[in-house]
Amino acid sequence: MKFKVPRGTQDILPSESWKWQQVEAIIRDVCELYRYKEIRTPMFEQTELFQRTVGDTTDIVQKEMYTFTDRGNRSMTLRPEGTASVVRSYVEHKMFGYPDQPVKLYYSGPMFRYERQQAGRYRQFVQFGVEAIGSADPAIDAEVISLALDVYRRAGLKDLKLVLNSLGDGESRKAHREALIAHFAPHIGEFCTDCQSRLNKNPLRILDCKVDRDHPLMASAPSLTDYLNEESAAYFENVKRYLDAIGISYELDPNLVRGLDYYNHTAFEIMSTSKGFGAITTLCGGGRYNGVSEDIGGPHAPGIGFAMSIERLLLALEAEEKTFVDEPDLDVYIVSLDEEAHRKGFTVLNDLRNAGIRADMDYMDRKMKAQMKSADRFNAKTVIVIGEDEVKENVVQLKNMEDGTQQKVKDSLLLEKIKEQLK
Ligand code: ATP
Ligand code: MG
C-alpha cells in the first residue's frame, strides 16, 4: 500500500518552508508596527459557532466544512476561517473590558475547507488575518486595509489592486434585499438550484454565485450602493477619505459581496494583477462585521478584519518572479578521519553550537573526499579537519573556505580563531 498526502493538502518541504518563514517574519514585523498582537485559538470549534457567524446559507457552511462528531457526541468543525474563533475568544475572555480599545489581534494558522482542488485552492491552507474589534471609526477600516497592503508590498509584490465596496447596515441591506428578490424572482428558473434556494433565504448570495456569474441578470442586478441609507453612505465616504489621505488607491465594485454573511459596511478584496497569475486572482478578503459579537451572545462590538492565505501570497510572488534571499550558510563543517577523531569532532561541534555558531559534521562514516563535498554543498565558510595526529597533539586543522588558507590551531584557541574568521 502506498500513502499520499490527502487531496487538496501539501507537504511544505525544506526548500519551500524557508520561503514560508520569510513571509511569516514579514507578517510579524508589520503587525508589530501596527500594534496588532497574536492570538492562537484551537483548530476546531463547536459547529454552531460557524453556522451562526459565517452563516447557514453560505458555501462555506453548506458545502465546505469538515464536520465530525466527537466521542462525546458533540458536533465539531475544523475551522474554515479565523474571525469566528477570534470573536468567540474576545467574548469569552471579555476583551471588551480591556482598557485599550479597540482590541487589535492577528492570527496565522491552518484553515480547512472541503473545496475542489485547483491552483491556489486547497483543502488545508494557512490564513493570516487581523481583527480590530471595538471601534467603528472609519479610520481603522483604512488602517486594516493599509496593513494588508503593507504585507504584500514588503514581501515584494507590485501588481496589486484594491477593490472596495460597502454593504451598508441592516436597514440598507433590507431595502436592497427586496429589490434583489423583485429583480431575480421572475427569471429564477434560469438559475442553478443553489440560487433558487438563495432567492428567499439570502438573495445577496446570488451575486456571489460561481455557476451563474455570466447570466445577464447579474450585471443588471440592483446595486447595493444605490440602497445605502444616509448613515451608511457617510461611513463609506469617510473610509474612502482616509484611504485617500494615505495615498491608497482603490477601484469601486458595487457587486463585491464576499462569501461570508457577517459582513456589513466596508468590504474589500486585494487582487493580483500580475499576468503570470492563474484564474484565481483574489489574494485577500476582508470587511467590517459589526454584529458578530452580539450574534454569539457578546455585547455590541463593531469589528473589522481581513484574511489572506500564505499559499496565494507565494503564488503571487512566483507570478511576479520574485526571488527570495538565500538561506544562511553553514559556518563550520567538521571533517573527521577515524573513530577517535569523530569523537573529538563531536565535542568540538557541541562547543561551537553552544557559542551560537551554525555547525554540522558527517554521520555517515564517509571518506574525507565525500565529507569535503558535503561541506561544499552546505556552503560552509570554514572546515575543521581532525585526523589521528590532530587528536594526539590537541589541535585541529582550520580551513578557510573563502580564501583557501589552512592553519593548525590549538584546541584551547579554536573558538576564538573561528569567531575571528567568521567576522
Ligand atoms: P474564494 O472566492 O476564492 O473562494 P473566499 O471568499 O472563500 O474566496 P475568504 O473566505 O474571504 O475567501 O478567505 C480569504 C482569503 O483566504 C482568500 O482571499 C484567499 O487568499 C484565501 N483562501 C480562501 N480559500 C482558500 C483555499 N481554499 N486555499 C487557499 N487559500 C484560500
Ligand atoms: Mg471560497
Residue 342 contacts by C-beta under 8 Å, 6 or more apart in sequence? 336, 361
Q: Could you tell which of 12, 50, 107, 125 is best to mutate to test the pocket of ligand 1, judged by most ligand atoms within 8 Å of the CB?
A: 125
CA angle (296, 300, 301) in 5-degree steps: 95
Ligand nearest to the CA of 120: 1
- Cα of 173 vs centre of ligand 1, distance in Å, is 24
- The reported pLDDT for the residue numbered 156 is 96
Measuring from atom 17 of ligand 1, which residue has the nearest CA? 284
Residue 287 is inside which H or E element, if any?
strand 282-289
Hey, is 398 helix, strand or coil? Answer: strand
Going through 26-183 in order, the beta strands assigned E by DSSP cover 37-38, 44-46, 66-69, 75-78, 103-112, 124-133, 160-166
Distance CA 314, CA 354 (A): 35
Whole-number Cα distances in Å, 111 to 42, 43, 122, 290, 312: 11, 8, 10, 23, 14
**Cβ 40 vs Cβ 86: under 8 Å:** no
Instruction: Give the number of other Cβ atoms within 10 Å of residue 86's Cβ.
Output: 24
Interval between CA 31 and ligand 2 midpoint (Å): 25
Q: Are the beta carbons of 315 and 321 closer than 8 angstroms?
A: no
On whether the CB atoms of residues 143 and 132 are closer than 8 A, the answer is yes
Burial class (CB in 10 A: 0-12, 13-18, 19+), 209: middle
- The number of the ligand nearest the C-alpha atom of 79 reads 1
Residue nearest to atom 8 of ligand 1 (CA): 259
For residue 205, the CA-to-ligand 1 centroid distance in Å is: 16
Cell numbers standing for residue 7: 487531496
Closest-lying ligand 1 atom to the alpha carbon of residue 306:
14
- pTM of the full predicted structure? 0.93
pLDDT in tens, the chain (423 residues): 899 999 999 999 998 999 999 999 999 999 999 999 999 999 999 999 999 999 988 889 999 999 999 999 999 999 999 999 999 999 999 999 999 999 999 999 999 999 998 889 999 999 999 999 999 999 999 999 999 999 999 999 999 999 999 999 989 988 999 999 999 999 999 999 999 998 988 898 898 888 998 999 998 999 888 999 999 999 999 999 999 999 999 999 988 887 677 889 999 999 999 987 877 789 999 999 999 999 999 999 999 999 999 999 999 999 999 988 888 899 999 999 999 999 999 999 999 999 999 999 999 999 999 999 999 999 999 999 999 999 999 999 999 999 999 999 999 999 999 999 998
CA of 259 to the centre of ligand 1 (A): 9
- Residue identifier of the C-alpha nearest atom 28 of ligand 1: 121
Phi, psi at residue 11, to the nearest 5°?
Answer: -90, 130
Cell numbers linked to 299: 455585547
Nearest residue CA, atom 4 of ligand 1?
259
Separation of alpha carbons 77 and 46, rounded Å: 6
Q: String of b and e for 210-244 (b: at least 16 CB within 10 Å)?
A: eebeebeeeeebbebbebbbeebeebbeebbebbe
Give the distance (Å) from ligand 2 centre to CA of residue 211: 13
Cα 73 from Cα 142, distance rounded (Å): 44
- Ligand 1 closest atom vs CA 59: 7
Ligand nearest to the CA of 118: 1
- Residue 172 C-alpha cell reads as 440598507
First to last CA, the chain: 52
Q: Cα angle at 160 between 156 and 161, to 5 degrees?
A: 160
Can you say whether residue 352 is alpha, beta or left, with left for phi > 0 and alpha for psi between -120 and 50 degrees? alpha
The pLDDT assigned to 248 comes to 98
Looking at all shown ligands, the one closest to residue 80's CA atom is 1
How many Å lie between the centroid of ligand 1 and the Cα of residue 216?
26
Residues at CB less than 6 angstroms from ligand 1: 81, 113, 115, 120-122, 125, 127, 258-259, 280, 282-285, 307-309, 311-312
pLDDT given at position 417: 95
Locus of grid cell 441578470: 217
| CA–centroid distance, residue 22 to ligand 2 (Å) | 26
Residue of 309, 310, 311 with the most ligand 1 atoms within 8 Å of its CB, for mutation: 309
For β-strands 282-289 and 303-309, DSSP reports them as antiparallel
**Residues 144, 43, 272: CA angle, nearest 5 degrees:** 40
359-361 vs 251-252, strand pairing mode: unpaired
SS3 275: coil
Question: Which atom of ligand 1 is found nearest the CA of 208?
Answer: 2
Cis peptide bond N-terminal to 254, omega within 30: no
**Which domains are seen in the chain, by residue range?**
14-169+229-319 (3.30.930.10), 332-422 (3.40.50.800)
Ligand 2 centroid – CA 18 distance (Å): 27
